[in-house]
């Protein structure tokens, strides 16, 4: 392959991983990111063994694992504390030889940016579109600048401008749910180290996990609340915490106290969308990666993990040489079924979690208690154990 330069639009987890993997495959890469700076404001991110395996291939697994905390078991509860089931995540991790790690998204971005070299990312570069001119792609930016390369990767997220130009018919779907995410440092571990607690309420789900140690011996905790809500809903100025508390008053400890302890500025609210599966991703020297290609609902915590898989598979195809356009089509053919499977499973998981009807919830809870552990583990294995490079 004789690609002079690969242009990546979007410097999120997917774009940065793609840049790293492509550089290691011997290509020249430049990333163009719309934001002026990487936000330190945070949210947590879970990286399952499929993503950690990718990081081990990039030589970053130890550093990534060191920045976060191990996730060893999930304990699912009804809102009032009754245990519905437990999942031994560690057993699966040991079988697969990779951990599951939760960490601050900003910490992961820092690790990636440092490994890539910040000089390879142009910040404040908002792409507005592209033109294919012969063998070249010309990419245009809002400030009037342009970039030229042999290949363009649209890694610009859910509202991708690259996808909108390639596939104007693509459709972003609202899941019917919004999310609040909070980060807080607390003096004690609150839940057993290595555990993720999930609690189910009426159309709501609350999660708690560790993200490693905070300053001065504190524990850095990440929590999230998913709740049914109309699309585009907003909390009053300074009202995120109160909005969350309205959903979780009276819930099992430490839910309320954790939310109470979180600074308003450390809570994010985001509506949850996914992308209707695309029948084709790219065209000519242009393709898509990550959420731009296959945004999925968050119920399996796999969106970023799949973007990371994309990055490694893309690098494998471009490294293998031959015709650039054929290599991009081979990458897409490889990734479309896999990401559709994970997106479908995520939607299915979501369809059982936010039930409001008391009879349906009772039946779901009975099912959760009755589901054999081996079956639950097998469902998870089919997502996180995929040998995506084979």
Ligand X SMILES: Cc1cc2nc3c(=O)[nH]c(=O)nc-3n(C[C@H](O)[C@H](O)[C@H](O)COP(=O)(O)OP(=O)(O)OC[C@H]3O[C@@H](n4cnc5c(N)ncnc54)[C@H](O)[C@@H]3O)c2cc1C
Q: Which is nearer to ligand X, 150 or 274 (CB)?
A: 274
How is residue 231 written in tokens? 């699309």
Q: Is 34 in the site for ligand X (CB under 6 A)?
A: yes
DSSP assignments along 367-380, one per residue: HHHHS-HHHHHHHH
Q: Which of 8, 11, 64, 335 binds ligand X (CB under 6 A)?
A: 11
- Smallest gap from residue 351 Cβ to ligand X (A): 17
Give the nearer residue to ligand X in terms of CB position, either 215 or 232: 232
| Residue 211 backbone phi and psi in degrees, to 5 | -120, 15
Q: Rule CB under 6 A: is residue 15 a binding residue for ligand X?
A: yes
3-state secondary structure (DSSP) of residue 388: coil
How far is 307 from 154, CA to CA, in rounded Å? 12
- CA triple 302-353-344, angle to 5 deg: 45
Task: Determine the interface stretch with ligand X among 30-38, 65-73, 192-200, 207-215 (rule: CB under 6 A).
Answer: 30-38
Q: How far is the CB of 158 from ligand X (least distance, A)?
A: 6
Asked if 13 touches ligand X (CB under 6 A), the answer is: yes
Is residue 42 at the binding interface for ligand X, with CB under 6 A as the rule?
no
Residue 246's nearest CA partner among 232, 237, 235, 254 is: 235
Contact at 8 Å (CB) between 291 and 14?
yes
Could you give the C-alpha distances from 4 to 1, 9, 28, 118, 136, in angstroms and in order? 9, 16, 6, 20, 10
Question: Which of 21, 54, 288, 301 forms a contact with ligand X (CB under 6 A)?
Answer: 301
What is the distance between the alpha carbons of residues 163 and 174, in angstroms, rounded to a whole number? 18
User: Which span sits near ligand X by CB under 6 A: 10-18, 244-252, 353-361, 382-390?
Assistant: 10-18
Cis check for the bond before 254: say yes or no (omega within 30 of 0). yes
Nearest to 152 by CA among 384, 342, 314: 314
Range 143-202, binding ligand X (CB under 6 A)? 155-157, 161, 179, 181
Burial class (CB in 10 A: 0-12, 13-18, 19+), 349: middle
- The stretch among 33-41, 184-192, 234-242, 364-372 that binds ligand X (CB under 6 A) is 33-41
Of 243, 307, 312, 315, which one interacts with ligand X (CB under 6 A)?
Answer: 307
Residue 269 φ then ψ, to 5°: -115, 130
Q: Which is nearer to ligand X, 125 or 191 (CB)?
A: 125
Contacts to ligand X from residues 89-128, by CB under 6 A: 125-127
Mask: binding to ligand X, 255-294, rule CB under 6 A, as x and -? ---------------x-x-----------------xxx--
Does 49 bind ligand X (CB under 6 A)? Our answer is no
Reading the block at residue 376, the tokens are: 């639950």
Q: Which residues bind ligand X (CB under 6 A)?
A: 9-15, 32-35, 45-46, 125-127, 155-157, 161, 179, 181, 270, 272, 290-292, 298, 301-305, 307
């Amino acid at each position: 392959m004789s690609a002079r330069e690969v242009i990546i639009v979007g410097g999120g987890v997917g774009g940065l991983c793609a840049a790293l993997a492509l550089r290691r495959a011997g290509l020249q890469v430049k990333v163009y990111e719309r934001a002026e700076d990487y936000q330190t404001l945070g949210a947590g991110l879970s990286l399952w063994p499929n993503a950690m395996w990718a990081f081990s291939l990039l030589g970053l697994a130890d550093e990534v694992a060191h920045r976060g905390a191990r996730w060893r078991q999930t304990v699912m509860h009804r809102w009032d504390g009754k245990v519905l089931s437990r999942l031994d995540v560690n057993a699966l991790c040991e079988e697969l030889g990779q951990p599951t790690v939760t960490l601050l998204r900003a910490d992961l971005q820092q690790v990636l940016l440092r490994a890539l070299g910040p000089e390879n990312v142009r910040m404040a570069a908002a792409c507005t579109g592209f033109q294919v001119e012969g063998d070249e792609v010309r990419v245009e930016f809002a400030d009037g600048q342009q970039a030229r390369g042999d290949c363009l990767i649209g890694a610009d997220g859910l509202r991708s401008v690259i996808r909108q130009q390639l596939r104007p018919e693509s459709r972003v779907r609202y899941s019917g749910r919004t999310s609040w995410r909070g980060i807080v440092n607390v003096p004690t571990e609150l839940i057993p180290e290595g555990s993720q607690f999930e609690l189910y309420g009426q159309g709501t789900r609350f999660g708690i996990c560790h993200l490693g140690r905070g300053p001065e011996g504190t524990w850095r905790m990440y929590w999230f609340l998913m709740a049914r809500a109309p699309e585009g809903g907003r909390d009053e100025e300074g009202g995120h915490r109160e909005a969350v508390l309205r959903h979780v008053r009276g819930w099992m400890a430490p839910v309320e106290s954790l939310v109470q302890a979180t600074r308003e500025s450390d809570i994010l609210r985001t509506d949850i969308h996914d992308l209707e599966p695309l029948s084709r991703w790219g065209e000519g020297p242009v393709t898509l990666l990550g959420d731009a290609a296959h945004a999925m609902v968050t119920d399996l915590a796999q969106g970023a993990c799949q973007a990371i898989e994309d990055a490694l598979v893309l690098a494998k195809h471009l490294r293998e040489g031959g015709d650039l356009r054929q290599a991009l089509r081979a990458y897409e053919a490889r990734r479309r079924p896999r990401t559709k499977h994970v997106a479908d499973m995520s939607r299915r998981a979501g369809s059982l979690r936010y039930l409001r009807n008391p009879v349906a919830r009772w039946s779901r809870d009975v099912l959760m208690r009755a589901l054999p552990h081996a079956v639950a583990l097998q469902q998870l294995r089919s997502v996180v154990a995929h040998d995506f490079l084979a």
